Amino acid sequence: MDDTQAQRLLSLYPSLASQAQTLSGLPVITVPLGTVLFREKDPCQGFPLVLDGEVRVSRASPSGRELELYRVQPGEMCLVSSAGLFANQALTARGVATSETTLCLLPPPDFQTALADVGFREYVLGLFAARMADLTGLIEAVAFQRLDSRLAATLLGHGQTLRTTHQALADELGTVREIITRLLHRFERDGLVELSRESITIKNSAGLRALAAGQGG
């Protein structure tokens, strides 16, 4: 990397000051929007240091739908990559560039060397704790928000008619098809939707919005 990039990198990640010589020798890459930077079950190639842009980290369900875990912006840390490096294990999520993104990778041996520095270790553990708090909030939202509210929110925003199956909705919401079917029939009885084969027609969007906001009965 050139001197300007090295200075920007250290301004974003000041706790790596002791590794300035190592950082100056790292290659910098710029990738376009939509580039998959890493995938689930891949070995972790290093600790990503984002200079510009953003990386969206998500997990995919068996149906192919994704749950966003968090986003990594300049100066921030990727929890999944850090966990992979700490435990020397495969990655558990995938990362995709949400815009043109410039970054470099601190190789695993250099990451382990950097951890010997108290400042960098405290930085990593501090951001690790912050990311864990974010994920705890996400887990609470997914696990404890009323399923009828979550289903109502899922049905909205797709126009008047949503073409999907009860099983696909169950996969997306992390439950079983029978529960989704019972809820949809309740929605139909309440005049919120009309059901047909692999199709759901919205009859009362205002009522669904109220339910999604937790105001329904």
Looking at the structure, tell me whether residues 119 and 20 fall in a common domain.
yes
> What per-residue confidence (pLDDT) applies to 194?
95
154 part of a folded domain: yes
Domain final position from 143, 174, 195:
143
> What per-residue confidence (pLDDT) applies to 65?
65
The CATH number of residue 70's host domain is: 2.60.120.10
Angle value at C-alpha 70, between 153 and 97, nearest 5 degrees: 105
217 part of a folded domain: no
Looking at the structure, tell me whether residues 115 and 178 fall in a common domain.
no
Average pLDDT, consecutive stretches of 10 residues, N- to C-terminus, the chain (217 residues): 91 92 93 96 95 92 73 92 91 95 96 92 87 76 74 89 91 84 92 93 94 72
Using alpha carbons, select from 94, 91, 83 the residue that is nearest to residue 57: 94
Neighbours of 159 (CB within 10 A): 9
> What per-residue confidence (pLDDT) applies to 132?
81
> What per-residue confidence (pLDDT) applies to 59?
87
Looking at the structure, tell me whether residues 16 and 90 fall in a common domain.
yes
Looking at the structure, tell me whether residues 124 and 46 fall in a common domain.
yes
> What per-residue confidence (pLDDT) applies to 36?
96
Looking at the structure, tell me whether residues 139 and 32 fall in a common domain.
yes
Domain final position from 143, 172, 203:
143
> What per-residue confidence (pLDDT) applies to 157?
80
Do 192 and 204 touch, CB atoms closer than 8 A? yes
